A and B are shown apart, each in its own frame.
Chain A
Amino acid sequence: MNAPNKSGWKPAMEAAEDGLHNGPQTVTGNRALMLEEPLIFEIGKAEVTGVDLPKIDPAVPTRLAGLHRDDAIGLVGLTEPETVRHYTRLSRQNYGIDLGFFPLGSCTMKHNPRLNEKMARLPGFADIHPLAPQNSVQGALQVIDELATWLKTLTGMPAVAMSPKAGAHGELCGILAIRAAHTAAGNPREVVLVPESAHGTNPATAAFAGYRVEDIPATPEGRVNVAELKARLGPDVAAVMITNPNTCGLFEKDFREIADAVHEAGGYVYCDGANFNAIVGRVRPGDLGVDAMHINLHKTFSTPHGGGGPGSGPVVFSEALAPYAPLPFVKQDDAGEYYLVEEEHREERGPTFGRMTAFHGQMGMFTRALTYMLSHGADGLKQVAEDAVLNANYILRSLEDLLHAPFADSGPCMHEALFGDKDFGGDLSTLDLAKALIDEGYHPMTVYFPLVVHGAMLVEPTETESKASIDQFIEAFRSVAQRALDGDQSMKQAPYYAPRRRLDETAAARKPKLAWSEPEE
């Protein structure tokens, strides 16, 4: 028995205007395997539960300071079969890497190996407390130390902070270390320079750390304008934040020259490591003059994106910044026993800038990432970068004759290929193309980013797509691109075949409804 359709939608009994849904309408609103699913608040009940717990004995005295919660909390429960079905139905309205190609530029949506999941669930990792006596968690501290060694070796950097919870948190960690180092030298400085093509997190992070953000312009070929950057350097510039490979998908070939100039002016170089997948095992950022760089374990090292987190963003540091890294960190004593350096270790903690999170970081992601690194090894990781770059160049060269590729002549791209919406017909936009791609069975590429290209489309295939998969994508992409260039107006209503048609985001923001409430009779 399907749950009643409470979405407020009444099936029209005639064919839809677009003429595309010629089958008869269904009374449930379902379409065979696409099942409508109400909210738990519409199907659950306060008195229903899916767990078996002892009944409450009201006679048992309590010590709750008289602060009993007397009113209903307002929760509803489902039994186990209903719960599993509810979430299974919801899951089928989601696109995921397991289902198909996920070409999101800058996000590195590679396959998530299941061995990672299996290892993270070993009770010796999953079922240990962060404050457990350290003599009882030596294996966990060893894993953190081992992963730290891999990260330092792959980046050619001497130190790493493991605790940041995500990429943006890692950025913050890096910029705070830079600020702490400047402050220790007597002046925190005022400005952080950020390229126009940077992720929004870069300027937001710098602002959160108390810096004023200034843009660095790009050259027509899609790289940092070195002359303008050098001209702007001075005693007020604390750091430069550069993404390399950059968000146009290009390697910043002048990076070393930039780093030297920044160091010359007394500043530090922050590298956004979002795109490390393109160079892992082939290039060490430490050799380019980087002072701090976060690494997204959920990109380069295959830990799952999970529909939006949790991520993990360890930060590697140069010698200059290492002393300011946040607590805690793992060390080994003379007897080979691992221990955490925390606030109390006054001697060893040095001039650390403090603590970023309650505990030691994303252990569940460390186990997954280390599992992945061991699987690939140094040779496999190098192959990862090569295949990721090969796939991206193959896409670039297979589409550049049809779509505007602003940096196609800037040399090979790295892990992602960038296109723009120049020459689209009618008033069609990148968004229309993205939605039409959904109907072809693909998650769209990253759209409208980076901001330096009009109607940007950033395609990142990663190394885990086969040639057949990429060829099929190219065919689909060419077809929707051709329609966009021809001004095919039917694209303005795409997608037609997804679980939902286009959603009204304007209405959602104008009158926000952010929690369920009983419908008014």
Chain B
Amino acid sequence: MRYLPLTDTDRGDMLAKIGAGSIDDLFVDVPEIARLDGPIRDLPMHASEMAVERHMKARANKNLAAGDAPFFLGAGAYRHHIPASVDTVIQRGEFLTAYTPYQPEIAQGTLQMLFEFQTQVARLYGCAVANASLYDGSTACWEAVAMAGRVTKRNRAVLSGALHPHYAQVVKTMAQFTGDTIADSAPAIQTEPDLDGLTARIDDETACVVVQYPDILGRISDLSKVADAAHAKGALLIVVNTEPVALGAIMSPGEMGADIVVGEGQSIGVGLQFGGPYLGLFAVRDPKHVRQMPGRLCGETTDAEGKRGFVLTLSTREQHIRREKATSNICTNSGLCALAFSVHMTLLGEKGMRELAAENHRLACLAADRLEKVPGVKLLNTSFFNEFTLMLDGKPAREIVRELADRGVLGGVSLGRLYPGIEALEHALLVAVTETTTEDDIETLANELERIVMEPAQ
């Protein structure tokens, strides 16, 4: 077996040293009832590298890769170009095969990277402090709600109807168990989000208001008023961002008064990967909230010779020290995804980030204008960054998406899939455009939509 260095001679010598007659003697504490007499029969035996590769490729080939089709899916995961050097860096064994940096003297590579990453995220979000990452945007969203509860000593969260429904589901799932109350609603299908309706739901019991920016329908709005309304009632504003590239063009949530900013970092350096692993970003505007944060934090210090160095810090918040009184049960971060994000961000820099955002927006405007010209298609948004909602006549959007896929076009996400049972959304299609989208792709989608939308339903 190519991954097992021990030889049979080694095994014999080692058993002799241990004083055991056979390997079975080492499993003597396993009760009879649980002992297997040989390899599990329902599974295949070992295979060569070549055979395994063949097996896996056969499965990969059954999928239509985003890069092989005109591609317009977003809704919390976006396809961006990843510079080649990003993958080169994350495949270096010293990063790939390292452990959580508990021994800082021999983990300065990971730690300095995390310190740089935290700085990049904090600045992108307009915040003071970011943590070293969480699992993904949706779990970061729940951790923010939980943290707001700790800060305000209240347990009512008001969710915007235009928060990604899966994020809302994660929050509601957890809240059933923690005794938090969640006030949420479905998104109103209109050009402007109903922020007045949202602020009207904030009361003296409210711990936090959770708003997505840009929201699930792609709309952008000034959240300063929501921040003021929340603060007037002693509540925190949590802003969720699922497309970090947008923050190269639009005002940061921190600038608008968000207290906690969370989001998905997948767009930068990580790739689609069918939903994971992704990268949860988490930051606070006010440094006084740092000790209530979940997750890992990397901080600067010096070593015994006075050299600058970095360590994981404030770990008394964490489970391995505080056990049942910890700020979260999480035990690690998304280190390698954070590295990918940070390398990509370093390649972009201020200039690249702004140009990338501008290019995304330019192409999205182009797409919106072209698709709006298709008979039976209406554009909902007056504002958007790189994702917008189309209202389609005729068949439900889910069917249209499936037919498009059959024709080799990945045309968007039907809101009916995200919001099952909400009649008004059955005909809504969410379309995302990035720098990877070509004008030909846009033309193809427009032509295919024209063909399908007006067809009579089967």
Contact = CB atoms under 8 A, between A and B. Distances in A.
Contact of B276 (A138, A165, A255): A165
A39 B115 contact: yes
Interface in A1-59: 7-9, 16, 29, 37, 39-41, 44-51, 53-57
A493 interface: yes
B52 A374 contact: yes
A309 B40 contact: no
B139 A343 contact: no
Contact of A63 (B166, B276, B321, B382): B382
A512 B304 contact: no
Interface in B121-155: 122-124, 128-130, 132-133, 135-139
Interface stretch (B16-24, B198-206, B225-233, B440-448): B16-24
Contacts of A375: 2-3, 46-47, 49, 52
Nearest to B325: A207
A355 B166 contact: yes
B189 interface: no
A420 interface: no
Interface residues of A, number: 209
Contacts of B373: none
Contacts of A357: 135-136, 138-139, 166, 170, 276
B36 A68 contact: no
B177 A129 contact: no
Interface in B49-83: 49, 51-53, 55-68, 71, 73, 75-77, 79, 83
Contacts of A138: 62-63
B374 interface: no
Interface stretch (A111-119, A226-234, A483-491): A111-119
Interface stretch (A261-269, A315-323, A385-393, A422-430): A385-393
B353 interface: yes
A363 to B, nearest CB: 4
B18 A397 contact: yes
B93 A99 contact: yes
B324 A514 contact: no
A355 B15 contact: no
A226 B399 CA distance: 58
A173 to B, nearest CB: 10
Contacts of A391: 6, 14
B29 A253 contact: yes
A463 B275 CA distance: 31
A256 to B, nearest CB: 6
Contacts of A94: 94-95, 98, 106-110
Contacts of A92: 94, 109
B452 interface: no
Given A361-B275, A371-B56, A133 B405 contact: yes
A363 B103 contact: no
B326 A204 contact: yes
B273 interface: yes
Interface string A79-102: 010011011101111111111001
Given A133-B410, A136-B64, A393-B18, A307 B339 contact: yes
Contacts of B277: 165, 309-310, 312, 362, 364-365
A466 B14 CA distance: 11
B350 A73 contact: yes
A143 B55 CA distance: 10
Interface in B21-57: 23, 25-31, 33-36, 38-47, 49, 51-53, 55-57
A130 B249 contact: no
B136 A115 contact: no
Interface residues of B, number: 215
B98 to A, nearest CB: 4
A195 interface: no
Interface in A127-186: 127-133, 135-140, 142-143, 146, 150, 153-154, 165-169, 171-172, 176, 179
A508 B381 contact: no
B355 interface: yes
Nearest to A82: B346
Nearest to A251: B29
A464 interface: yes
A308 B336 CA distance: 7
A412 to B, nearest CB: 4
Interface centre among A133, A135, A168, A279 (most CB of B within 10 A): A133
Contacts of A111: 3
A129 B303 contact: no
A193 interface: no
A411 to B, nearest CB: 5
B123 A91 contact: no
B251 A512 contact: no
A402 interface: no
Nearest to A172: B329
B302 A507 contact: yes
A306 B98 contact: yes
B352 A154 contact: no
Contacts of B271: 126-127
A206 B324 CA distance: 7
B383 A65 contact: yes
Contacts of A207: 324-326, 329
B413 to A, nearest CB: 5
B347 A78 contact: yes
A181 to B, nearest CB: 12
Contact of B76 (A74, A107, A358, A377): A358
Given A50-B346, A55-B355, A111-B3, A309 B30 contact: no
Nearest to A164: B135
Contacts of B40: 153-154, 281, 284, 378, 382
A390 B10 CA distance: 10
A39 to B, nearest CB: 6
Given A94-B109, A354-B169, A513-B300, A139 B272 contact: no
Contacts of B76: 130-131, 358-359
Contact of B250 (A69, A95, A364, A507): A69
A56 B356 CA distance: 9
Nearest to B60: A124
B11 interface: yes
A250 B30 CA distance: 10
Contacts of A64: 220, 249-250, 361, 383, 385
A83 B307 contact: no
B194 interface: no
Contacts of A515: 115, 118-119, 122-123, 128-130
A398 interface: yes
A67 interface: yes
B116 A39 contact: yes
Contacts of A131: 73, 75-77, 413, 417-418
A356 B137 CA distance: 11
Contacts of A412: 18, 20, 25-29
A308 B100 contact: yes
Contacts of A63: 361, 365, 368, 381-384
CB-based closest 5 A-B pairs: A77-B349, A359-B275, A124-B60, A354-B173, A98-B93
20 contacts: A46-B350, A49-B347, A50-B347, A69-B252, A77-B350, A80-B83, A87-B113, A93-B109, A123-B60, A125-B273, A129-B79, A133-B401, A135-B402, A284-B34, A344-B421, A357-B276, A358-B170, A359-B278, A412-B25, A498-B105
Given A60-B362, A312-B277, 13 more contacts: A16-B305, A65-B221, A126-B273, A132-B63, A168-B332, A204-B323, A342-B420, A357-B139, A386-B23, A391-B6, A443-B106, A499-B108, A514-B299
